[in-house]
Chain A
Amino acid sequence: MSNTATLPGTPGPASVSSSAATLRHVRYVLGENPVTAGAFALFAAFVLVALFGPWIAPYDPLATNAASALRGPSAAHWFGTDQLGRDILSRVIVATGLDFGMAVAAVFISFALGSALGACAGYYGGWIDRTVSRFADTIMAFPLFVLAMAIVAALGNSVANIIYATAIINLPFYIRVARGEINVRRNAGFVEAARLSGNSEARILALHLFPNILPPIMVQISLNMGWAILNAAGLSFIGLGVRPPQPEWGIMVAEGASYMISGEWWVSFFPGVVLMLAVFCFNLLGDGLRDMIDPRRRT
């Protein structure tokens, strides 16, 4: 009995040892590259702050206090206060949720839509492939940030539209990765086998082929996250999307811009540094993830 139970798909010892091997590989890469381990820790900290920001923040991020406006960093206000006397530390903490939320939502949309379109293009070929590729090329024909600006301008000035714009300009990268990865496998042996055993084309694409593109797509996602945050913050820096009282890193830097050249550096400095750290963290993670998944492409 025990023999027949382990036969289909051989779960049992084989998969245990392979997952153990994966774990060992991950531990080896992290040990080899302490920077990646540090990036993981920083990422975890950012996620915690993003989730529990409103409860961690020492002050109300919107509470103004004219008596203590534009004070430098002190024991009471670690990051100082802005021109309305709002506590910058609290604003930076609360903003984490919004900035991460925008980036995650945008990257998720481009991942879901882009990989589906790319997978169909790579698998079916023909007019689907031509249409999807032409669509991707048209997006790439624009300087991407400029296209994002234009989309937000056309759809209207809101946070949701910033997310859509960021998602659209990232679409081509997912389409290309998914299309390429599916295309090289569409006639592989396991696909032929699945087809012969009576699976429908859509089922083969979704269940047999799609899981194969997840590793390269994961790398793309983590490299993309940093850029998505930069892009969203850049759009709100030039005054699109997020409305002023709401704390967001890009708009906070913009609000402090005029004080920077009169010496009140902390208004822009802290949100800017945190934004930079977040992007830096994602880029390191992306590089680390790529080393783990595809050691050949190490640079």
Chain B
Amino acid sequence: MWQLIGRRALAAIPNVIGIVVVTFVLTRALPGDPAAFYAGPAATQEAVEQIRTKLGLDQPLWRQFIDYLGDLARGDLGLSLSTGQQVLDEILRRLPASLELTLLALLVACVIALPLGILAATRPGSWVDHACRLITTLGVSLPIFFTGLLLAYVFYYLLGVAPPPVGRLDSMFSPPPQWTGFYLIDSLIAGDLALFRAAAAQMVLPVATLAIFVLAPIARMTRAAMLGVLSSDFVRTARASGLSSGTVLYKYAFRNAMLPVVTTMGMVFSFMLGSNVVIEKVFAWPGIGSFAVDALMQSDYAPVQGFVLVMALLFVAINLMIDILYTVIDPRVTIDA
């Protein structure tokens, strides 16, 4: 199995190369002259030339690409003009906020979507089945920024049960000492239950918004996969051999049905990482998505490029993990890539 995993990791290398090339091309395709841009509007011609030499923009393209690779290898994603910080530092500081949101939403979505899909598949034509179909079609149609605003209106403005939809923590609290960067975990480590409650309260609406969006494809795939497996011969044989319905459902059907569901997880993550940007803007969440959007609005491009690179590498890593998970669930799989 280790050999398999190693081979799969090797297969990810062309993707990484592709990503680096694309981000490089996008950096060079920036509108206008980067040197003039970095120099600012008041700069003289000489100052612009000086910066051009300093940035290496007077070099041929292949040379620039090699310099770019060198910068990447040193973890240098450039400076953010708006904050004056190293882009990589800023992204690393903000990454836990985004990850906490994404992972929790994924967890919530799975906890709801898997049972829903299984119930719908075991009782086709029942109200659960219809509800499942309605939820899955509605879920993929919802503009995620709109759902978020609607939830904020209902639960904050109308009902008053949610805290103001701004940021990770109410301004009355200060963040817990950093261990993992996940406020929920850090506040528990610090033993501060009030802080934990405050952080959790801030998370409810953004997590719910993201989860509603993500549970649709998961429930849909679970239902379809379960339907396929439940009508297969080996399930009929298992039933005929007198195994209890619980054993048949979970030991025989569920594990097999999980395979197509796991393979769609890559697509689900692609949607989630994209939606994260929008959600963070709606809820003023201090993650890497809102960092990139704010930078974009101020024509500060280094953070945007860094953000795209980090997101793409994260996505490659996730796809790698999904494939490995696949081999763990299904030992028959041999990855050929």
Binding site for B on A (CB under 8 A): 134, 137-138, 140-151, 153-156, 226, 230, 233-234, 237-240, 250, 253-254, 256-257, 260-263, 265, 268-269, 272-273, 275-276, 279-280, 283-284, 287, 299
Contacts and interface: CB of A to CB of B under 8 A. Distances in A.
Interface in B300-333: 301, 304-305, 307-308, 311-312, 315-316, 319
A175 to B, nearest CB: 15
Contact of A146 (B30, B142, B144, B277): B277
B293 interface: yes
Contacts of B137: 280, 283-284, 287
B18 A280 contact: no
Given A142-B312, A253-B143, A153 B152 contact: no
Interface of B: 14-15, 18-19, 21-23, 26-27, 29-31, 137-138, 140-146, 149-150, 152-153, 156-157, 164-165, 220, 223-224, 269-275, 277-278, 281-282, 292-293, 296-297, 301, 304-305, 307-308, 311-312, 315-316, 319
A285 to B, nearest CB: 11
Contact of B282 (A134, A240, A257): A257
Contacts of A263: 157
A137 B150 CA distance: 36
B278 A260 contact: no
A230 B271 CA distance: 12
B118 to A, nearest CB: 15
Query: What is the interface of chain B mostly: helix, strand, loop, or mixed?
Result: helix
B275 A254 contact: no
B320 to A, nearest CB: 11
B259 to A, nearest CB: 17
25 contacts: A141-B315, A142-B22, A142-B308, A145-B270, A145-B273, A147-B308, A150-B304, A153-B296, A155-B29, A155-B31, A226-B140, A226-B141, A234-B278, A237-B281, A239-B296, A240-B296, A253-B149, A254-B145, A260-B149, A260-B150, A261-B153, A276-B141, A276-B146, A299-B220, A299-B223
B312 A143 contact: yes
Contacts of B141: 226, 276, 279-280, 283
Nearest to A161: B31
Contacts of B140: 226, 279, 283
Nearest to B133: A299
A257 B146 CA distance: 9
Nearest to B305: A150
B29 to A, nearest CB: 4
A264 B296 CA distance: 28
A272 B278 CA distance: 14
B311 A142 contact: yes
Query: What is the interface of chain A mostly: helix, strand, loop, or mixed?
Result: helix
B145 A261 contact: no
Contacts of B293: 238-239
Of all A-B residue pairs in the complex, the 8 with the closest CB atoms, nearest first, are: A145-B274, A138-B18, A272-B146, A143-B273, A280-B141, A154-B26, A150-B308, A141-B15
Nearest to B23: A150
Given A134-B14, A239-B297, 10 more contacts: A143-B270, A143-B311, A145-B270, A230-B143, A237-B143, A250-B143, A254-B145, A272-B143, A279-B142, A284-B137
B29 A260 contact: no
Contacts of A233: 143
Nearest to B27: A154
B113 to A, nearest CB: 15
A265 B270 CA distance: 31
Contacts of B223: 299
Contacts of A151: 26
A149 B26 CA distance: 11
Contacts of A254: 145
Contacts of A262: 157
Given A154-B26, A156-B31, A134 B304 contact: no
A207 B149 CA distance: 50
A155 B137 CA distance: 34
Contact of B304 (A149, A234, A256, A280): A149
Contacts of B26: 150-151, 153-154
A256 B273 CA distance: 24
A254 B143 CA distance: 12
Contact of A260 (B153, B270, B277): B153
